[in-house]
Structure 1
Amino acid sequence: MSVGQYCNREVIVTSLDTSILEVAQLMRRHHVGDVLVVEQQGEQNIPVGIVTDRDLVIEILAEEIALDAVTVKDVMSSAITISEKADLWDTLQQMRYQGIRRMPVVNEKGSLEGILTVDDVLALLAEGLTDLVKLVKHEIEQESRLRSKP
Protein backbone atom coordinates (compact mmCIF):
# COMPACT_ATOMS: atom_id res chain seq x y z
CA MET A 1 0.00 0.00 0.00
CA SER A 2 1.58 3.21 -1.14
CA VAL A 3 1.07 6.66 0.32
CA GLY A 4 -0.08 7.91 -3.08
CA GLN A 5 -3.09 5.57 -2.95
CA TYR A 6 -4.39 7.07 0.28
CA CYS A 7 -3.25 10.68 0.47
CA ASN A 8 -5.65 13.56 0.06
CA ARG A 9 -5.08 15.18 -3.34
CA GLU A 10 -7.02 18.33 -2.49
CA VAL A 11 -4.42 20.47 -0.75
CA ILE A 12 -4.71 24.15 0.12
CA VAL A 13 -1.46 25.96 -0.68
CA THR A 14 -0.02 29.41 -0.26
CA SER A 15 3.28 31.26 -0.75
CA LEU A 16 5.94 32.46 1.69
CA ASP A 17 4.80 36.07 1.69
CA THR A 18 1.13 35.40 2.52
CA SER A 19 -0.18 37.17 5.59
CA ILE A 20 -1.25 35.20 8.63
CA LEU A 21 -4.76 36.62 8.33
CA GLU A 22 -5.01 35.31 4.76
CA VAL A 23 -3.86 31.86 5.91
CA ALA A 24 -6.48 31.81 8.68
CA GLN A 25 -9.12 32.83 6.16
CA LEU A 26 -8.02 30.04 3.79
CA MET A 27 -8.34 27.51 6.61
CA ARG A 28 -11.82 28.75 7.45
CA ARG A 29 -13.01 28.93 3.84
CA HIS A 30 -11.80 25.40 3.02
CA HIS A 31 -12.51 23.85 6.46
CA VAL A 32 -8.93 22.62 6.92
CA GLY A 33 -6.46 22.68 9.78
CA ASP A 34 -3.37 23.28 7.68
CA VAL A 35 -2.07 25.14 4.65
CA LEU A 36 1.01 23.99 2.77
CA VAL A 37 3.56 26.63 1.82
CA VAL A 38 5.00 26.08 -1.64
CA GLU A 39 7.56 27.68 -3.88
CA GLN A 40 6.74 27.74 -7.57
CA GLN A 41 9.59 26.32 -9.68
CA GLY A 42 8.41 26.38 -13.25
CA GLU A 43 5.23 24.32 -13.23
CA GLN A 44 6.19 22.53 -10.01
CA ASN A 45 4.81 23.38 -6.57
CA ILE A 46 7.64 22.46 -4.20
CA PRO A 47 6.53 22.19 -0.54
CA VAL A 48 8.77 24.21 1.77
CA GLY A 49 6.62 24.51 4.87
CA ILE A 50 3.33 24.00 6.60
CA VAL A 51 1.18 26.23 8.82
CA THR A 52 -1.39 24.62 11.08
CA ASP A 53 -4.27 26.01 13.07
CA ARG A 54 -2.28 25.10 16.17
CA ASP A 55 0.66 27.23 14.93
CA LEU A 56 -1.67 30.21 14.66
CA VAL A 57 -2.94 29.74 18.20
CA ILE A 58 0.37 28.93 19.91
CA GLU A 59 2.71 31.21 17.97
CA ILE A 60 0.50 34.20 17.18
CA LEU A 61 -2.61 34.48 19.33
CA ALA A 62 -1.14 33.22 22.60
CA GLU A 63 1.84 35.53 22.18
CA GLU A 64 -0.46 38.45 21.29
CA ILE A 65 1.45 39.19 18.09
CA ALA A 66 -0.22 41.58 15.68
CA LEU A 67 -1.48 39.69 12.63
CA ASP A 68 0.00 42.24 10.24
CA ALA A 69 3.44 41.94 11.87
CA VAL A 70 4.19 38.43 10.55
CA THR A 71 3.89 36.36 7.41
CA VAL A 72 3.69 32.66 6.77
CA LYS A 73 7.48 32.50 6.57
CA ASP A 74 7.73 33.59 10.21
CA VAL A 75 5.36 30.93 11.53
CA MET A 76 5.63 27.88 9.26
CA SER A 77 7.36 24.65 10.13
CA SER A 78 9.65 23.05 7.58
CA ALA A 79 7.88 20.55 5.36
CA ILE A 80 9.02 16.96 5.88
CA THR A 81 7.87 15.28 2.69
CA ILE A 82 7.36 11.68 1.61
CA SER A 83 7.35 10.10 -1.83
CA GLU A 84 3.96 9.06 -3.18
CA LYS A 85 5.54 5.63 -3.79
CA ALA A 86 6.53 5.16 -0.14
CA ASP A 87 4.93 2.40 1.89
CA LEU A 88 2.01 3.62 4.00
CA TRP A 89 3.04 1.75 7.18
CA ASP A 90 6.67 2.92 6.91
CA THR A 91 5.38 6.47 6.49
CA LEU A 92 3.25 6.16 9.63
CA GLN A 93 6.32 5.03 11.57
CA GLN A 94 8.24 8.03 10.25
CA MET A 95 5.40 10.37 11.21
CA ARG A 96 5.36 8.89 14.71
CA TYR A 97 9.13 9.20 15.01
CA GLN A 98 9.07 12.83 13.77
CA GLY A 99 6.04 13.67 15.93
CA ILE A 100 4.04 15.05 13.02
CA ARG A 101 0.38 14.55 12.09
CA ARG A 102 0.61 15.75 8.49
CA MET A 103 3.07 14.91 5.74
CA PRO A 104 3.14 16.45 2.24
CA VAL A 105 3.33 13.82 -0.50
CA VAL A 106 5.58 14.53 -3.49
CA ASN A 107 6.33 12.96 -6.85
CA GLU A 108 9.77 11.97 -8.15
CA LYS A 109 10.46 15.63 -9.09
CA GLY A 110 9.67 16.85 -5.57
CA SER A 111 6.43 18.49 -6.67
CA LEU A 112 3.40 18.41 -4.39
CA GLU A 113 0.91 15.62 -5.10
CA GLY A 114 -1.12 15.58 -1.88
CA ILE A 115 -0.95 15.30 1.88
CA LEU A 116 -1.24 12.36 4.23
CA THR A 117 -2.78 13.15 7.60
CA VAL A 118 -3.48 11.12 10.70
CA ASP A 119 -7.17 11.78 10.05
CA ASP A 120 -6.87 10.16 6.59
CA VAL A 121 -5.27 7.07 8.09
CA LEU A 122 -7.88 6.83 10.87
CA ALA A 123 -10.64 6.96 8.24
CA LEU A 124 -8.89 4.22 6.25
CA LEU A 125 -8.54 2.02 9.33
CA ALA A 126 -12.16 2.61 10.36
CA GLU A 127 -13.33 1.62 6.88
CA GLY A 128 -11.21 -1.53 7.02
CA LEU A 129 -12.56 -2.48 10.45
CA THR A 130 -16.12 -1.90 9.28
CA ASP A 131 -15.51 -4.23 6.33
CA LEU A 132 -14.14 -6.89 8.69
CA VAL A 133 -17.18 -6.64 10.96
CA LYS A 134 -19.47 -7.00 7.93
CA LEU A 135 -17.47 -10.03 6.78
CA VAL A 136 -17.84 -11.75 10.16
CA LYS A 137 -21.55 -10.96 10.30
CA HIS A 138 -22.07 -12.29 6.76
CA GLU A 139 -20.10 -15.42 7.59
CA ILE A 140 -22.25 -16.10 10.66
CA GLU A 141 -25.46 -15.56 8.68
CA GLN A 142 -24.29 -17.82 5.88
CA GLU A 143 -23.21 -20.55 8.30
CA SER A 144 -26.55 -20.30 10.07
CA ARG A 145 -28.43 -20.77 6.78
CA LEU A 146 -26.28 -23.74 5.75
CA ARG A 147 -26.47 -25.51 9.13
CA SER A 148 -30.22 -25.01 9.53
CA LYS A 149 -31.00 -27.10 6.43
CA PRO A 150 -32.11 -30.70 7.16
Structure 2
Amino acid sequence: MTNPYTVADVMTERVVAVRPGAEFKEILAAMERGKVTAVPVVEGEGRIVGVVSEADLLLKEELRDHRLGLIEQLKRLDATAKAGSRLARDLMTSPAVTIRSEASLPQAARTMATHHVKRLPVVDEHGAVQGIVSRSDLLKVFLRPDEELASEVRRDAVEHVFPLSHQDVDVRVEAGVVVLAGHVRDASLIPLATRLARAVEGVVDVRCELTGEAGG
Protein backbone atom coordinates (compact mmCIF):
# COMPACT_ATOMS: atom_id res chain seq x y z
CA MET A 1 0.00 0.00 0.00
CA THR A 2 1.19 3.52 -0.79
CA ASN A 3 2.07 5.64 2.21
CA PRO A 4 -0.48 8.45 2.72
CA TYR A 5 0.56 12.00 1.97
CA THR A 6 1.81 13.99 4.94
CA VAL A 7 2.17 17.68 5.70
CA ALA A 8 5.82 17.43 4.61
CA ASP A 9 4.67 16.55 1.08
CA VAL A 10 2.64 19.73 0.56
CA MET A 11 4.00 22.38 2.94
CA THR A 12 5.84 25.50 1.84
CA GLU A 13 9.37 25.43 3.21
CA ARG A 14 10.08 29.12 2.65
CA VAL A 15 8.78 30.84 5.78
CA VAL A 16 8.51 34.57 6.40
CA ALA A 17 8.80 35.09 10.15
CA VAL A 18 9.45 37.95 12.56
CA ARG A 19 11.20 38.33 15.89
CA PRO A 20 9.34 39.21 19.11
CA GLY A 21 10.76 42.74 18.95
CA ALA A 22 9.54 43.40 15.40
CA GLU A 23 7.51 46.61 15.15
CA PHE A 24 4.06 47.05 13.62
CA LYS A 25 5.24 48.27 10.21
CA GLU A 26 7.96 45.62 10.07
CA ILE A 27 5.30 42.94 10.59
CA LEU A 28 3.14 44.43 7.86
CA ALA A 29 6.12 44.52 5.51
CA ALA A 30 6.86 40.85 6.24
CA MET A 31 3.26 39.89 5.42
CA GLU A 32 3.39 41.85 2.18
CA ARG A 33 6.75 40.32 1.26
CA GLY A 34 5.49 36.79 1.80
CA LYS A 35 2.00 37.45 0.42
CA VAL A 36 0.53 35.95 3.60
CA THR A 37 -2.06 37.01 6.16
CA ALA A 38 -0.16 35.78 9.23
CA VAL A 39 3.47 35.32 10.25
CA PRO A 40 5.11 33.17 12.93
CA VAL A 41 6.98 34.95 15.71
CA VAL A 42 10.25 33.13 16.41
CA GLU A 43 13.12 33.46 18.84
CA GLY A 44 16.52 31.84 19.26
CA GLU A 45 17.20 29.36 16.47
CA GLY A 46 13.72 29.50 15.04
CA ARG A 47 11.57 28.28 17.95
CA ILE A 48 8.03 29.56 17.48
CA VAL A 49 6.49 31.54 20.32
CA GLY A 50 3.36 32.89 18.65
CA VAL A 51 1.66 34.06 15.47
CA VAL A 52 0.63 37.56 14.39
CA SER A 53 -2.26 37.73 11.94
CA GLU A 54 -3.93 40.52 10.02
CA ALA A 55 -6.79 40.24 12.52
CA ASP A 56 -4.39 41.10 15.35
CA LEU A 57 -3.10 44.14 13.47
CA LEU A 58 -6.56 45.34 12.44
CA LEU A 59 -7.54 45.79 16.08
CA LYS A 60 -5.47 48.96 16.08
CA GLU A 61 -7.58 50.37 13.25
CA GLU A 62 -10.85 49.00 14.63
CA LEU A 63 -10.45 50.62 18.03
CA ARG A 64 -8.70 53.80 16.88
CA ASP A 65 -11.80 56.02 17.07
CA HIS A 66 -14.02 53.74 19.11
CA ARG A 67 -14.25 54.63 22.78
CA LEU A 68 -15.19 51.51 24.73
CA GLY A 69 -17.33 51.61 27.86
CA LEU A 70 -16.00 50.06 31.05
CA ILE A 71 -17.95 46.82 30.62
CA GLU A 72 -16.84 46.43 27.00
CA GLN A 73 -13.25 47.19 28.00
CA LEU A 74 -13.38 44.38 30.57
CA LYS A 75 -14.82 41.99 27.99
CA ARG A 76 -12.17 42.89 25.44
CA LEU A 77 -9.06 43.31 27.56
CA ASP A 78 -6.90 41.32 25.16
CA ALA A 79 -8.17 43.26 22.14
CA THR A 80 -7.65 46.67 23.73
CA ALA A 81 -4.16 45.67 24.88
CA LYS A 82 -3.25 44.62 21.34
CA ALA A 83 -4.73 47.81 19.90
CA GLY A 84 -2.34 49.82 22.05
CA SER A 85 0.70 47.72 21.19
CA ARG A 86 3.22 47.90 18.38
CA LEU A 87 5.59 44.97 18.98
CA ALA A 88 5.12 41.40 17.80
CA ARG A 89 5.48 40.01 21.31
CA ASP A 90 2.46 42.04 22.42
CA LEU A 91 0.39 41.61 19.25
CA MET A 92 0.87 37.88 18.74
CA THR A 93 -1.48 35.07 19.65
CA SER A 94 0.31 32.62 21.91
CA PRO A 95 0.79 29.72 22.17
CA ALA A 96 0.76 29.18 18.43
CA VAL A 97 -1.32 26.39 16.92
CA THR A 98 1.23 24.22 15.09
CA ILE A 99 1.57 20.83 13.44
CA ARG A 100 4.35 18.35 12.80
CA SER A 101 5.60 17.53 9.30
CA GLU A 102 4.72 13.84 9.64
CA ALA A 103 1.04 14.59 10.37
CA SER A 104 -1.48 13.42 7.80
CA LEU A 105 -3.42 15.86 5.64
CA PRO A 106 -6.74 15.02 7.36
CA GLN A 107 -5.07 15.78 10.71
CA ALA A 108 -3.96 19.17 9.39
CA ALA A 109 -7.42 19.91 8.02
CA ARG A 110 -9.08 19.01 11.34
CA THR A 111 -6.62 21.17 13.28
CA MET A 112 -7.33 24.15 11.02
CA ALA A 113 -11.08 23.65 11.36
CA THR A 114 -10.96 23.20 15.14
CA HIS A 115 -8.91 26.35 15.71
CA HIS A 116 -10.47 28.40 12.88
CA VAL A 117 -7.14 29.15 11.20
CA LYS A 118 -6.19 29.21 7.52
CA ARG A 119 -2.59 28.04 7.87
CA LEU A 120 -0.37 26.23 10.37
CA PRO A 121 3.33 26.62 11.13
CA VAL A 122 5.06 23.25 10.75
CA VAL A 123 7.52 22.56 13.56
CA ASP A 124 10.09 19.94 14.50
CA GLU A 125 10.39 18.17 17.87
CA HIS A 126 12.12 21.24 19.33
CA GLY A 127 9.41 23.66 18.22
CA ALA A 128 11.55 25.18 15.46
CA VAL A 129 9.67 26.25 12.35
CA GLN A 130 10.23 24.02 9.30
CA GLY A 131 7.55 25.38 7.01
CA ILE A 132 3.98 26.55 6.62
CA VAL A 133 0.96 24.56 5.46
CA SER A 134 -2.16 26.36 4.25
CA ARG A 135 -5.63 25.33 3.17
CA SER A 136 -4.58 25.66 -0.46
CA ASP A 137 -1.59 23.35 0.21
CA LEU A 138 -3.96 20.65 1.49
CA LEU A 139 -5.88 20.84 -1.79
CA LYS A 140 -2.75 20.22 -3.90
CA VAL A 141 -3.34 16.45 -3.82
CA PHE A 142 -6.48 16.97 -5.89
CA LEU A 143 -4.28 18.18 -8.75
CA ARG A 144 -2.68 14.74 -9.16
CA PRO A 145 -2.95 13.46 -12.78
CA ASP A 146 -5.82 11.07 -13.49
CA GLU A 147 -3.36 8.49 -14.84
CA GLU A 148 -1.44 8.53 -11.56
CA LEU A 149 -4.64 8.11 -9.56
CA ALA A 150 -5.81 5.24 -11.76
CA SER A 151 -2.50 3.42 -11.28
CA GLU A 152 -2.64 3.82 -7.50
CA VAL A 153 -6.31 2.78 -7.26
CA ARG A 154 -5.58 -0.32 -9.32
CA ARG A 155 -2.58 -1.27 -7.17
CA ASP A 156 -3.86 -0.34 -3.70
CA ALA A 157 -7.55 -1.12 -4.06
CA VAL A 158 -8.32 -3.47 -6.95
CA GLU A 159 -5.28 -5.77 -6.95
CA HIS A 160 -5.14 -5.73 -3.16
CA VAL A 161 -8.78 -6.77 -2.68
CA PHE A 162 -9.25 -8.97 -5.77
CA PRO A 163 -5.94 -10.83 -6.27
CA LEU A 164 -7.61 -13.51 -8.43
CA SER A 165 -10.00 -11.43 -10.53
CA HIS A 166 -8.38 -7.97 -10.69
CA GLN A 167 -7.73 -8.41 -14.41
CA ASP A 168 -11.51 -8.34 -14.95
CA VAL A 169 -11.83 -4.89 -13.33
CA ASP A 170 -11.64 -1.72 -15.38
CA VAL A 171 -10.35 1.39 -13.58
CA ARG A 172 -11.08 4.75 -15.19
CA VAL A 173 -10.44 8.20 -13.72
CA GLU A 174 -11.73 11.46 -15.11
CA ALA A 175 -11.25 14.79 -13.30
CA GLY A 176 -10.43 12.89 -10.13
CA VAL A 177 -13.60 10.75 -10.23
CA VAL A 178 -12.86 7.01 -10.20
CA VAL A 179 -15.08 4.53 -12.01
CA LEU A 180 -14.72 0.85 -11.12
CA ALA A 181 -16.40 -1.51 -13.58
CA GLY A 182 -16.30 -5.22 -14.28
CA HIS A 183 -17.04 -8.54 -12.60
CA VAL A 184 -15.32 -10.02 -9.55
CA ARG A 185 -15.52 -13.36 -7.79
CA ASP A 186 -16.66 -12.14 -4.38
CA ALA A 187 -19.34 -9.42 -4.31
CA SER A 188 -18.97 -9.01 -0.54
CA LEU A 189 -15.55 -7.39 -1.10
CA ILE A 190 -16.84 -4.67 -3.42
CA PRO A 191 -17.58 -2.16 -0.58
CA LEU A 192 -14.01 -2.61 0.72
CA ALA A 193 -12.51 -1.94 -2.72
CA THR A 194 -14.67 1.17 -3.01
CA ARG A 195 -13.52 2.47 0.38
CA LEU A 196 -9.85 1.87 -0.46
CA ALA A 197 -10.24 3.64 -3.80
CA ARG A 198 -11.89 6.62 -2.11
CA ALA A 199 -9.01 6.74 0.43
CA VAL A 200 -6.39 7.34 -2.29
CA GLU A 201 -5.07 10.88 -1.91
CA GLY A 202 -6.52 13.13 -4.60
CA VAL A 203 -9.59 11.06 -5.43
CA VAL A 204 -12.65 13.31 -5.61
CA ASP A 205 -15.29 10.59 -5.73
CA VAL A 206 -15.79 6.92 -6.63
CA ARG A 207 -18.52 5.46 -8.83
CA CYS A 208 -18.73 1.71 -8.43
CA GLU A 209 -20.24 -0.37 -11.25
CA LEU A 210 -18.73 -3.68 -10.14
CA THR A 211 -20.77 -6.87 -10.08
CA GLY A 212 -19.85 -10.13 -8.39
CA GLU A 213 -20.86 -13.56 -7.24
CA ALA A 214 -22.60 -13.87 -3.89
CA GLY A 215 -20.49 -15.61 -1.29
CA GLY A 216 -17.36 -15.57 -3.46
Query: 1:25 and 2:41 equivalent?
Result: no
| CA distance in structure 2 between the partners assigned to 1:97 and 1:71 by the alignment | 28
Q: Are residues 26 and 68 of structure 1, via their aligned partners in 2, closer, same or farther at CA, if it must alter by over 3 Å? A: farther
Q: Does the aligned pair in 2 maintain the 1:20–1:68 contact within 8 Å?
A: no
- In the superposition, the TM-score normalised over structure 2's length comes to 0.53
Tell me the residue number matched to 1:48. Answer: 49
Q: Which has the higher helix share?
A: 1
Tell me the residue number matched to 2:208. Answer: none
Tell me the residue number matched to 1:148. Answer: none
Q: Aligned-pair distance for 1:33?
A: 1.6
Higher relative contact order (CA 8 A, sep 6+): 1
Identity over aligned pairs, percent: 27
- In the superposition, the TM-score normalised over structure 1's length comes to 0.74
Q: Does the aligned pair in 2 maintain the 1:46–1:110 contact within 8 Å?
A: yes
Structure 2 counterpart of 1:8, one-letter code: T
| CA distance in structure 2 between the partners assigned to 1:54 and 1:132 by the alignment | 39
| CA distance in structure 1 between the partners assigned to 2:61 and 2:142 by the alignment | 34
What's the Cα RMSD here?
A: 2.5
Aligned pairs (5 A) from 1:34-45: 34-40=38-44, 44-45=45-46
Q: Does the aligned pair in 2 maintain the 1:19–1:68 contact within 8 Å?
A: no
| CA distance in structure 2 between the partners assigned to 1:28 and 1:68 by the alignment | 22
Tell me the residue number matched to 1:73. Answer: 89
Q: Tell me the number of residue pairs that the alignment of Structure 1 and Structure 2 aligns.
A: 129
Q: Cα deviations across residues 92-147 of structure 1 (Å, max 9, x unaligned)? A: 1122112221111012222110011113223x15524xx3499427xxxxxxxxxx
Give unpaired runs (5+ residues) of structure 2: 66-82, 149-172, 176-216
Q: Does the aligned pair in 1 maintain the 2:46–2:128 contact within 8 Å?
A: yes
Structure 1 counterpart of 2:50, one-letter code: G
Give unpaired runs (5+ residues) of structure 1: 138-150
Q: Cα deviations across residues 57-110 of structure 1 (Å, max 9, x unaligned)? A: 2x2211129x99521112111211111111111121122112221111012222
Q: Does the aligned pair in 1 maintain the 2:146–2:174 contact within 8 Å?
A: yes
| CA distance in structure 2 between the partners assigned to 1:81 and 1:23 by the alignment | 20
State the structure with more CA Rg.
2
| CA distance in structure 2 between the partners assigned to 1:72 and 1:32 by the alignment | 16
Aligned pairs (5 A) from 1:1-150: 1-40=5-44, 44-57=45-58, 59-64=59-64, 69-78=85-94, 79-122=96-139, 124-128=140-144, 131-132=145-146, 135-136=173-174
Structure 2 counterpart of 1:74, one-letter code: D
